[in-house]
Amino acid sequence: MNGTKKEIEELVKTLAAATLDPDVEVIVGAPSIYLDHTKRLLPCNIKLSAQNCFKVPKGAFTGEISPMMIKDVGATYVILGHSERRHLFSECNKLIGEKVQHALAEGLSVIACIGELLEEREAGQTEQVVFEQMEAIAAGVSDWSKVVLAYEPVWAIGTGKTASPKQAQEVHCKLRGWLKEKVSEKVANDTRIIYGGSVTAANCKELAKEKDIDGFLVGGASLKPEFIQIINAKMQK
């Protein structure tokens, strides 16, 4: 929940003027009220995502937006299951799974988020929690090429803490193993699993070196010039 029209114009201007790694897919997630405005500004090499949506095309759900509406303004992605949706707005695994299923059925690509709380990690429940979240998401997926998974340890979001590259890689590896066992080896190899948890220019290069970390879900740093450095993490010496 950041930005004004003017601020978005400045952010897009910075992105448009930058030299970006051509091998990196860049997607920006604007607040729903600014999706149309952002689409008009974005260069063609940057895609647009909504930050959330509901599980039906239309109806008496005041304040919600649907995948149909998101597509209508030219966005092609939606972020679902973000930790803030889960823990601030009490969205359960079942609801998130239903939303994923509907968004995919409507032709959107989905960035599906999973992750554990600090008390869950300290109790040794990380694997159990993220696998339960995965099961709810996977139940609604028939085409995994339209899904990007985002692992975001809740204890490392907005706290200044970051999972070490080793901690992040460990969970990413387990998620890829889950996909191999529950879906297929091809899906496990092809599905992008990105990391979100206080990613900054200072830590992105080390995180990007890990085998199973395929990209980043960037929070506050996406509002700063350092976002360019994060996009180009693999290019930096």
Vertex 158: Cα angle to 64 and 148 (nearest 5): 55
Instruction: Return all residues near 159 (Cβ < 8 A) that are at least 6 apart.
Output: 198
Within 10 A of 17 (CB to CB), how many other CB atoms are there?
9
Tell me the CB-side half-sphere exposure of residue 97, using CA atoms within 13 A.
Answer: 15
Catalytic status, residue 82: yes
Catalytic status, residue 10: no
Catalytic residue selected from 91, 116, 152, 172: 152
Amino acid identity at 42? L
Catalytic residue selected from 37, 82, 102, 172: 82
Tell me the CB-side half-sphere exposure of residue 11, using CA atoms within 13 A.
Answer: 23
Distance (Å, rounded) from C-alpha 127 to C-alpha 152?
Answer: 13
Which are the catalytic amino acids? 82, 152
